[in-house]
Structure formats: C-alpha cells, structure tokens
Amino acid sequence: RKEVEQDPGPFNVPEGATVAFNCTYSNSASQSFFWYRQDCRKEPKLLMSVYSSGNEDGRFTAQLNRASQYISLLIRDSKLSDSATYLCATSGGYNKLIFGAGTRLAVHP
Amino acid sequence: DAGVTQSPTHLIKTRGQHVTLRCSPISGHKSVSWYQQVLGQGPQFIFQYYEKEERGRGNFPDRFSARQFPNYSSELNVNALLLGDSALYLCASSSAGARDTQYFGPGTRLTVL
C-alpha cells in the first residue's frame, strides 16, 4: 500500500461547481498535512497547510480526519483557473514530505 | 524577495554521464530538500539538508549525492545516469520551525537519452 493515496481523476466539472478530493495516508504518526497545486510542467505551489482538524482559505477548505486517516480538499465555485493537478502530502520526518500521485481537475465553461 | 531558484532549467544528457543540479533557497531559509518527480507521479524525496548536514535520505541509489554550502545553497549530483533518471528535479526550502512547510523552486527538467 502506498503511504499517500489519491484518486488520479480526472475530475471534469463545470465552472461554478463544488468539487472535493480525498487523500488517504498510512502513517498514523503524521503531524502535518499539505495540499499543493501543480500546473502542467511547473513546480508544486503550496495551497494549504493542515495541522489540526481543518483550514479554510476563501473558496478552499481542507479537512483532516485522523481517525480515518484522510484529508480532503473542497473547492467551491470552481473557476477555469482552478484546472490543475492537486497534490496531497504528509510529513514523513523533518522537512521530508511524502506525496500522493495527484488528482487532476479540469474545469470547463 | 526571490523564491527558490534552480539551475539549469533544462538539461539533456546521455546514459553514463553525470549531472550537477543547483539550488538557492529563499533568503533566510536554512533547510533544503531535493525531490524527483517522474511524469504522472508525485515528487519523491531524495535528500534533506539543514545547516550543511544531511538530515534525511530517501530510497535512492548511491549514484545520487548532494551537499549544502555555507550560504545554504545546495547541489544534487547524479552519476552514471540511467534512462530512468529522466525527471523533474525539484528543490524545496523551508525555515526553522516552519512545521515542514516547504516552498518549491521551478525545477530542473533532466532528459537522459
């Protein structure tokens, strides 16, 4: 079993839709969780950090469920510019991140 | 302030050659981590350096090595290149006490022919 697993998608949604991604992790000792956004052939950019039960930033909400060992990312009112790959990551030691393979999102008009 | 910078942006090598990739962290950041990202996968951890010392190593062969300099910049070296080393190599920096939050550079895209 991979340490961090994500549904690869793609998720194809219309503008304005709400979309949610889940990410499961296997290491119950993980303390820090992150969502990164990665555009095609670019570097991952930090979207949100999650240390406790959840975090919200505008249209984006991340939630952590330690009992079931998953984190989720909810995007409300999707924009065309939200089209990207969303990477989930957990901490695997000091400044070591363990990434999932990413979930692709395509927002269409 | 400048973000993480990496050089070169692109590189083409042939099998058996060696390559050196460079990274400069965000000003004030003392920790640098290296990741390899092959197409369709998430980044895989290679090394982490803090204050010029190796603090973590991923599951990569000894052909991969790295170091960090007094100014906190870093080099990743790969010897005896294989076709499978073709990937985007990402450098990330973080500050002390940042609870693992890392910021990535634009990466070096390495193609091995």
Nearest chain A CA: its distance from B64 CA (Å): 17
Nearest to B49 by CA among B97, B85, B110, B91: B91
- Distance between CA atoms of residues B73 and B93, nearest Å: 10
Residue contacts between A and B (CB atoms, under 8 Å): 74
Task: Name the residue among B58, B99, B104 with its Cβ closest to that of A32.
Answer: B99
- Distance between CA atoms of residues A99 and A32, nearest Å: 12
Chain A contact for B106 (CB, 8 A cutoff): yes
pLDDT digits (tens, 9 = 90+) for B10-42: 999 999 999 999 999 999 999 999 999 999 999
pLDDT digits (tens, 9 = 90+) for B92-103: 999 866 566 899
pLDDT digits (tens, 9 = 90+) for A65-91: 999 999 999 999 999 999 999 999 998
pLDDT digits (tens, 9 = 90+) for A9-66: 899 999 999 999 999 999 888 888 999 999 998 999 999 998 888 889 999 999 999 9
The answer to whether the CB of B70 falls within 8 A of the CB of A109 is: no
Nearest chain A CA: its distance from B16 CA (Å): 26
Nearest chain B CA: its distance from A33 CA (Å): 9
Chain A contact for B105 (CB, 8 A cutoff): yes
